[in-house]
Structure 1
């Protein structure tokens, strides 16, 4: 499925210690897809549009992880609220894919063993950071 959509960022978060996730989760196969993408039935995405941020060990307040991300002023508060609604006040790391609208209602996949899908949010390249 192709989920490309300009002006939208799709977000996943984890509460699993980054250091305890096997390297194989991030290794690409012949098609250039890693296990994360396959788990969510993502058949293609532009790796240049992907951003990750988090802490090496343990958990941090979601705001601390979202704030340094590109253009976070335009979507950061919405992500914080949604993750808190999902029951977490802290996270270990985030995956953001810009110009991408992942549709979990189509794939019926909302999480794998390491990350939970947060949602899709409009973003603005004119926006600064949340910090």
Structure 2
């Protein structure tokens, strides 16, 4: 039953990330940020640039929670299979390649960092 739950969770989180989050950010968050920033300029950045940067910060925060890394951390391999299934349901499974490549690159960098840290600790 745990595998099925992980698969469904990976599917649902991916659908939320791909469909619901951009819609909510477009309709509500960007308008709110535009109101807060107003017509200001900061360090040669226009208000439009500031709004874009803040929206990217919000998106990256959401990606950390419900992106491929978050799905893998919470739901394991079956969650990742759910991610791939969600992209298949949306019509193009090749769209899952980028999140999986980013996940693989992150795992590789983490593994290298841990290996170097172990070597450094054993040499000290």
Normalised TM-score (structure 2)? 0.25
Decide which structure has greater strand share: 1
Higher relative contact order (CA 8 A, sep 6+): 1
Decide which structure has greater helix share: 2
Greater Rg by CA: 2
